[in-house]
Amino acid sequence: MTKTKQNIMLTPGPTPLPPEVLAALSRPILHHRTEAFGEMFQFVLDAMQRAYMTKNRVLMASASGTGAMESAVVNLLSPGDEALVYSTGAFGDRFAAILKAYGLSPVVISEEWGHAAKAEKISDALKRHPKTKVVFLQHTDTSTGVLNDIKDLAAAVHANSQAVIVVDAVSSLAAEEFRMDEWGVDVTLTASQKGLMNAPGLAFAAISERAWTLVQSARLPKFYFDWKTYDRSLKARETPYTPAVAMVAAQAEALKLIEKIGLEGMWKRTAELADYTRTWARKNGLAIFAKDPAHILTGVRLPEGVDGSAMLAEILREEGISIADGQLSLKGKIVRIAHMGYISRADLDAGFVALEKRLAEVQAA
Ligand code: PMP
């Protein structure tokens, strides 16, 4: 087995885990149809409601964030329905791909990568497509580090239609300000491995009553992700199928830590680390990729001629520090430095030193 010098993760999921969460992952496994599991599961659902800032029901499935995205598509829509996707990066495009995989033809509007979605564009699109049933948005698109103003976008949807609003908050929940009920969001999706400070493997959806009326009539095919089945199991404090029990235990510990710091404390922590990272980038003459940057992640442009992919591979191999490469057209051109969850200033410092060393070598060559 090859051994790295250290294991520092500056990646936007999975993220490093607090010791309490790691310890929970190694506790003896509970059977999932027991009082003890039910109590722990109920705590997770209640704490997730608080993290979402909602009074709506929260469902959990053992899946990654993409599973949560797919579950929203199949539970809200029927064949032939109109849906609108506003894409500001790779994960917005994923919503469109899922809709197409189920035979729908979504209207897709998009922004140049790095730019946030605009309320006027949503209003225009909804006027052109008045039968739109569901609008799909992303809070933070992790491919570019862009932040969308969900409060503003949701207001534009409500002002122009009856459409249900689905928000992908996979990389932002508990890390970046998000107020589901206050902002008028109907469905918010997230996953365990980012701001929620857990290992990957749990997917969550918070669902408003307005959205639930669509769930009752949605006819796209589904089985594992049928929300009605999960909802029926809630009374018994269970999931319909065997859940990732160890991860539920770990999620409970992570949510306790989040509640100790407080949601606003978590948002502030992310914002401070983002500020720290942007200051470092500017000091080193590196431009921030996103014009409307999120706090959860900073995409930093590399100087012309630097092969970012090779540089990051070397940093991981030689120093055990994981930093994310750009995705798709940005591969090798930007590095994505995350500051969500348990990532610390010391972790960032280690990453900065490693990057500075490689950039100095390139410049000297
Ligand atoms: N949406 C966003 C904004 C994400 O950052 C991610 C993961 N990077 C996903 C969706 C997909 O989640 P997963 O990889 O857990 O399926």
Could you give phi then psi for residue 137, rounded to 5 degrees? -130, 160
349 with 319: CB under 8 angstroms?
A: no
Phi, then psi, of 58 in degrees rounded to 5: -120, 130
- Tens digit of each residue's pLDDT (9 = 90 or more) over 44-84: 999 999 999 999 999 999 999 999 999 999 999 999 999 99
Give the integer Cα–Cα distance in Å for 161 and 157. 6
**Ligand 1 midpoint to CA 36 (Å):** 30
Tally: H helices and E strands in the chain: 13, 14
| Domain locations along the chain | 8-14+262-364, 19-259
* For the CA of 193, the nearest atom of ligand 1: 15
C-alpha 364 – ligand 1 centre gap (Å): 37
Q: 64 C-alpha vs ligand 1 centroid, how far in Å?
A: 8
The answer to whether the CB of 150 falls within 8 A of the CB of 137 is yes
How far does residue 317's CA lie from ligand 1's centre (Å)? 25
Q: Looking at residue 364, what is its pLDDT?
A: 82
Tokens found for residue 28: 């003896």
Among the atoms of ligand 1, which is closest to the Cα of residue 141? 3
Sign of the torsion angle spanned by Cα atoms 122, 339, 197, 25 = positive
| Atom of ligand 1 lying closest to residue 142 CA | 5
Ligand 1 centroid, distance to 61 Cα (angstroms): 15
Measured from the CA of 67, which atom of ligand 1 is nearest? 16
Q: Which of 170, 173, 296 to mutate to test the pocket of ligand 1 (most atoms within 8 A of CB)?
A: 170
The atom of ligand 1 lying closest to the CA of 138 is: 3
CATH number for the domain running over 8-14+262-364: 3.90.1150.10
* Matching fold, domains 8-14+262-364 and 19-259: no
Residues with CB under 6 A from ligand 1: 13, 64-66, 91, 138, 141-142, 168, 170-171, 191
Residue where the block lists tokens 């990729």: 289
Answer for the pair 254, 48: CB distance below 8 angstroms, yes or no.
no
Question: Tell me, what amino acid is at 71?
Answer: S
336 C-alpha to ligand 1 centroid (Å): 14
Q: Determine the residue of 9, 15, 62, 66 to mutate for testing ligand 1's pocket, defined as the one with the most ligand atoms within 8 A of the Cβ atom.
A: 66
CA angle at residue 78 from 73 to 82, to 5 degrees? Answer: 80
Q: How far is the CA of 357 from the centre of ligand 1 (A)?
A: 30
Q: How far is the CA of 290 from the centre of ligand 1 (A)?
A: 18
The per-residue pLDDT for 5 is 64
**Which protein residue has the closest C-alpha to ligand 1 atom 2?**
170
Class of 19-259 per CATH? alpha beta
Look at residue 1 in the predicted model and tell me its pLDDT.
Answer: 47
- Which of 70, 142, 150 is the pocket-test mutation for ligand 1 (most atoms within 8 Å of CB)? 142
Amino acid 6: pLDDT: 77
Distance, in Å, from the CA atom of 182 to the CA atom of 57, rounded to the nearest integer, reads: 16
Protein residue with its CA nearest to atom 9 in ligand 1: 65
Per-residue pLDDT of the chain (365 residues; tens, 9 = 90+): 455 567 999 999 999 999 999 999 999 999 999 999 999 999 999 999 999 999 999 999 999 999 999 999 999 999 999 999 999 999 999 999 999 999 999 999 999 999 999 999 999 999 999 999 999 999 999 999 999 999 999 999 999 999 999 999 999 999 999 999 999 999 999 999 999 999 999 999 999 999 999 999 999 999 999 999 999 999 999 999 999 999 999 999 999 999 999 999 999 999 999 999 999 999 999 999 999 999 999 999 999 989 999 999 999 999 999 999 999 999 999 999 999 999 999 999 999 999 999 999 987 87
Give me ligand 1 centre to Cα 341, in Å: 15
